[in-house]
Structure formats: structure tokens, C-alpha cells
Amino acid sequence: MNIKLPYGRTHINADLSAFEHVNVLEQAKYSPEFAESDEVRNALQNPIGEASLSELARGKNRILLITNDMTRPMPSKITIPAIIAEIHSGNPDAEITILIASGLHRAMTQQELVDKMGADVVADNRVIVHDAYDNDSLAYFGELSTGNPLWLNAELLNADLVVSEGFIEAHWLAGYSGGRKSILPGIAGADTVMRNHCPKHVDDKATRPGNLQDNLAHREFTEAATKAKLAFILNVVLDKDKKIIKAFAGHPFSAHEEGCRFVNRLMSAPCKLADVTIVTNSGYPLDLNLYQSCKGLNTASFATKEGGVIILCTECAEGVGHGGFGEVMNMKMLPAEVLEKMHSGEIKIYDQWGAQVILNVVVKYKVIVVTDIERDIIECMGMIYAENIAEAVDMAAEMVGHVPVINVIPEGPIIIPKGGTGA
């Protein structure tokens, strides 16, 4: 069995022909009814639980359109022109500001903006990149029910209508991405994000991919979206080639929930816990850095026997990633000690949640990483470096001590393992 695994903008091949028990966890087969642009247009013209965007745009002259940054494979060259056309069909004179929901990520370059949305969209519209650390660009929207002070981008105050776009996949913290996440963490202040992504929320039993029920972070997300007066969303579902196979538009909660149900049916993969799980972070752009790669690693933990081996294949062309994440991962302490200090509040650094997710896995599993990051960096983080997938598989088999049962998750962040308990 030779399995192609996404790695950066290319693929690597895992030769597993020597192993008898190999289970590939993939999305269910689905044949889209329409071409990508037609699917988006149909969703916009048949909104769920809300009036059409063209109707909402009437009399609203300052419209804020929120979209993802470069770390998400959102096909905005298709979706944003469709959204703008729908707005202008109801209000030709509407002024549209596009706000990039960067969360705590680095700012996008001008070329990345063009690559994402197209030169015409960038040239014809006011585009702002959210900066979570710039307090002067934030406004206070009250306190969430959890006590978290909600600071959001002040552009919301100038908008007559707030619209967002995104894509829906399983998410390690939120249950599912998309919808309300455009607001928090997308355009929230750093301190608000910090409190939302706190150790308690990260480790809560309801925090897992594919779950919204009793999810503490999701509860804050929905409250933030309500306070921000998010009125309409367009969310899409992508296949493994990052192509749109389904679109959902309308009310920010009901349309998103319908999309989540679709994703759950499509992305749930039955499995038994394996001795070894091979996983990726779905290639570019999701495997740009190790910080983002906690998603695939977290997914693998739900498909692996405790004490087993996880092989993470992630290119990481931009290295480790965010400064705070790298700072935590480079601390000269045992993983369990770092986690304890996070929970006590002794360690409190922006982006530490990515490190928490990885360290939670490292203390329960042996983690081998196939990556372009240097060996010493991986090893100082409590993980094991492998030159290539063949070496990683050999190492894993030796660690297990017998012919292993192997799960393979070629698209780590999007799959919802079902059947085992895992981490």
C-alpha cells in the first residue's frame, strides 16, 4: 500500500506494503451537484434562516466583509466577488471594507492579499488587516458571560452591516471552524483571545474536533458574534484538493450549524485505536508552521492507543511559527512541568495554546516528526526527528516492538475519528 500524503505544496509517499493492518481515515465520497461558482451563487440566493444578502444590503451604505488570512485555504477569489456582486445587486452604492481576520497571526503581505482575493478585489475595495496587538484599533463590546472582556476591531462600529466568509472543518478547540470564529478569535484583541484560549478551555472534556455541545470556547464565540452584530455568513466546505463542494449562506448560527452537520457526515471516519498513526496537516497553507500543525497532531491522538506512536508529516516552510508558541516549546523543562505551569498561571504567553495541544500529545504518545524544521529544534520540543517518512515508519515499528496496526490520516485537520476514545 502506497499512500500519498500532502506536504507543503507537494506530496510525499508512504510505502506501507509491508504492513498487514492499515486503515486509511478519509472523508466520505461526495460528488458536488454544482461547479464551485454555481454552488456559491446558489447558496447566496437561497439563504438559511435569514433574508438574502441583497435584501440586507438595501439602505446599508457601510458594509464590513470579514475574511480569513493566508493560513486558511479559503477560495476567496471565487467567494468574495460573488458576495460583492450580491451586495451590489441590492445596493449598488454600498461601500465595502474587507477586514482580514488575522487572529494573532502575522500580517499578510500585499502580494498575499492579491494572491488570496485577486488584484481587482484588492484594488477596488478598502482592505484592512486586523492587528490584535494594536489597542488603538480595538473597541470594547462588553463582557462575555464567562467574564471575558470582549475587545474587537473598531471597524465594527462604522459598519451598517457585518458579513463574514469562511470555511467549515473540524477544529481542535472550536469543534468546527467557520461562522462565529470570524469574530472571535478572528478580529478580537489579543487579551480576549488569550482568555478564550485558556488552559481550562483547551483541556475541557468537551473540547474536541466535531463537538459543539458544552464547548466553552464555542460558547464565547457565539456570544461575541452576537455582540458584533454579525448578520450574514457565507461558509464553504472544501475537498482534499481545496475545491468547494458545498456552500452555506444565511444566518450566522443556523447556516453554520447546517454546514457543521454536513461536515460531520462527510468527515467522520470510523476507526479502532492503532499502535501507530500517520497524519499530516493537509499540506499548504495549513502546514506553513508547526504552530498550525497542532491540529493534525491533535486529530491523530483520537485514533491512537495511549503510549503509541504518532508520525506527523508537516513541511513548516515558515518554521516553528508564532513567537510565543516557540518560546513555550523551547523551555528547558519536561512537558508535564510546562503544562502544570500553564494551568497555575505561572506561564502565560500569547499562542501558548498551540504548545499546550502539542505537549498534551507528547506526554501520552511518542511523536515522530517529518519536517523541514531542523532536527535540534524538534528534539528540544520533546519530539523525535525523522529524515523522511520511510525512516519514521521504521522507527515507529521498532518502538512498538511488533507488527503494528496503523491508521493513516492524509488530511489531518479535517477528519473526525470515530470509534476509539484516544486523547
Q: pLDDT 10s per residue in the chain (423 long)?
A: 899 999 999 999 999 999 999 999 999 999 999 999 999 999 999 999 999 999 999 999 999 999 999 888 899 999 999 999 999 999 999 999 999 999 998 899 999 999 999 999 999 999 999 999 999 999 999 999 999 999 999 999 999 999 999 999 999 999 999 999 999 999 999 999 999 999 999 999 999 999 999 999 999 999 999 999 999 999 999 998 889 999 999 999 999 999 999 999 999 999 999 999 999 999 998 999 999 999 999 999 999 999 999 999 999 999 998 778 999 998 989 999 999 999 999 999 988 999 999 999 999 999 999 999 999 999 999 999 999 999 999 999 999 999 899 999 999 999 999 975 544
CA 140/CA 173 separation, integer angstroms: 24
- How far apart CA 152 and CA 318 sit, in angstroms, is 28
Three-state secondary structure readout of 116-158? HHCHHHHHHCEEEECCCCCHHHEEEEEECCCCCEEEEEHHHHH
Question: Residues near 153 by Cβ (< 8 Å), separated by ≥ 6?
Answer: 99, 128, 130, 137, 138, 139, 187, 188
Q: What are the strands of the beta sheet with 62-68, ordered from one edge?
A: 126-129, 95-101, 62-68, 161-167, 230-238, 244-250
Half-sphere exposure of 240 (CA within 13 A, CB side): 23
Residue 420's pLDDT is 59
105 as an active site residue: the answer is yes
Q: Which one of the listed residues 105, 197, 201, 322 is annotated catalytic?
A: 105
| pLDDT on residue 332 | 85
Is position 402 annotated as part of the catalytic site?
no
Domain with CATH 3.90.226.30 in the chain: 2-25+271-418
Which homologous superfamily is 2-25+271-418 in? LarA, C-terminal domain (3.90.226.30)
Q: How far apart are CA 167 and CA 174, in angstroms?
A: 13
Please, what's the b/e burial string for 198-212 (b: 16 or more CB within 10 A of its CB; e: otherwise)? bbebbeeeebbbbbb
Count the residues in the chain. 423
User: Can you read off the three cell numbers belonging to residue 334?
Assistant: 519536561
Residues 251, 232: Cα–Cα separation, whole Å? 5
- Span 36-266: which CATH code? 3.40.50.11440
Query: Cβ(202)–Cβ(359) under 8 Å?
Result: no
Residue intervals of the chain classified under CATH 3.40.50.11440 are 36-266
Rounded Cα–Cα distance for residues 28 and 193 (Å): 34
Query: Quick count: other Cβ atoms within 10 Å of Cβ 48?
Result: 17
**Distance from C-alpha of 195 to C-alpha of 178, rounded to nearest angstrom:** 20
Q: What is the pTM of this model?
A: 0.90
Give the model's pLDDT for residue 421: 52
The active-site residue out of 171, 218, 256, 322 is 171
